[in-house]
Amino acid sequence: MRTTRRTILAGLPALALPGLARAQEAWPSRPIRMIVPFPPGGAADIVGRFLATHFQQALGRGVVIENRGGAGSTIGVDALAKSAPDGYTIGLINIAANAIVPAVRKQPLPYRPLEDFAPISNLAVTPALLLINPQKLPNVQSVADLVAAAKARPEGINFGSSGVASSLHLGMELFMAKAGIRMTHVPFNGGGPLLQALVAGIIDCSLDVAATTNALLREGRIKALATTAPSRMPSYPNLPALNESFPGVELASWHGLAAPAGTPAPILARLAAETQAFLRSPETAERYRAQFLEMPQETTPEGFRALIAREITQFAELARAQNIVVE
């Protein structure tokens, strides 16, 4: 009797066939879940939905956004770390959950900020602006003026933040350490109350992102002195970078793409390639400009991993020097 491939397969044990089918299954063969560790509407959610649309078109499968906010984004990031490393769960990690919180938290986190993830690419950065209330500090027209005023009145000028050990708090601590000044910290429960307090004159100055402050800047209700970006921002070309006066004062909140550690290398490579295509797209650049988002530099898995490692070290050193600890 003539032997054919069909008769050979028919003679294989029945239990072997599902395994064979799985081995030959092309990825992706079903929808992908993207965990965004923040509520809908913020920068992370906006970036995640932009990227999800690109992946759906490029990969030919649906991408379902799962918003899992809470505990400073650590709940969603922990869920990503504990997901199956099969390529069907990806998610956003960020400066808070993967660099700042590990550096300042007294109790251990339920995940390891670098080891439990396969970093794919940084997606977007949001540098902060150094802002003042011009009615509270009428003689301050520059960073040099603010430094001089703070030196003349140690602890007499207050600054706000969106919370103890938030990126806005640590960014100001870094600036004060480099400038040799001390101001009084007034923490608020989130960015909204912080901005309201600055406009109302409850606080003298703060850091905050351009996306939420641009309208108030145009109206003159607050004034920007500098940016925490490494160099001048395209959207504010006349605004100096703090780095120009105090080298090393850089802070840009970031949101990046990662998968659970152990995700197969071919899948990670495909995700990385498609993410780079997304970031090179003129449509993405236009959308980012509209949201005051900056393009990242660390768009390879290796570069993104190195960024996270550097920032964990930087924030740990700053937290020790300034004695910043949270439970």
Query: Which CATH fold topology does 30-126+253-322 show?
Result: D-Maltodextrin-Binding Protein; domain 2 (3.40.190)
Nearest to 303 by CA among 94, 120, 98, 77: 120
Nearest to 119 by CA among 93, 86, 151, 156: 93
The three-state secondary structure class of 143 is helix
> Rg for the chain (alpha carbons), in Å?
23
Residue 94: CB partners within 8 Å, gap ≥ 6? 37, 44, 73, 77, 253, 254, 255, 256
For the chain, how are helix, strand and coil distributed in percent, rounded to 5?
A: 45, 20, 35
Which phi-psi region, left, alpha or beta, contains residue 263 (left: φ > 0; alpha: ψ -120 to 50)? beta
Query: Rounded CA gap, 104 and 87, in Å?
Result: 31
Query: Rounded CA gap, 233 and 238, in Å?
Result: 9
Nearest to 204 by CA among 268, 136, 252: 136
Task: Tell me what pLDDT residue 13 has.
Answer: 45
Q: What is the DSSP string of 187-210?
A: E-SSHHHHHHHHHHTSSSEEEEEH
Task: Tell me what pLDDT residue 311 has.
Answer: 92
pLDDT tens for the chain, residues 1 to 327: 444 444 434 444 444 444 434 444 799 999 999 999 988 888 899 999 999 999 999 999 999 999 998 888 999 999 999 999 999 999 999 999 999 999 898 889 999 999 999 999 999 999 899 999 999 999 999 999 999 999 999 999 999 998 888 889 999 999 999 999 999 999 998 888 999 999 999 999 999 988 889 899 999 999 999 999 988 888 889 999 999 999 989 888 999 999 999 999 999 999 999 999 999 999 999 999 988 899 999 999 999 999 999 999 999 999 998 888 887
> For residues 136 and 204, is the Cβ–Cβ distance under 8 A?
yes
Q: Residue 262 phi/psi, 5° resolution?
A: 95, -5
According to DSSP, the β-strands at 158-161 and 205-209 are parallel
DSSP state at residue 326: B
Tokens representing 78? Answer: 């922990």
One-letter amino acid of 75 = I
Q: In the chain, where are the structural domains located?
A: 30-126+253-322, 127-245
Please report how many Cα atoms fall inside a 13 Å half-sphere around the Cα of residue 239, on the Cβ side: 20
Is the CATH code 3.90.1480.20 the one for domain 127-245?
A: no
Task: Tell me what pLDDT residue 12 has.
Answer: 43
Domain 30-126+253-322 shares a fold with domain 127-245: yes
Task: Tell me what pLDDT residue 24 has.
Answer: 45
Q: Would you tell me how many other CB atoms lie within 10 Å of the CB of residue 57? A: 11
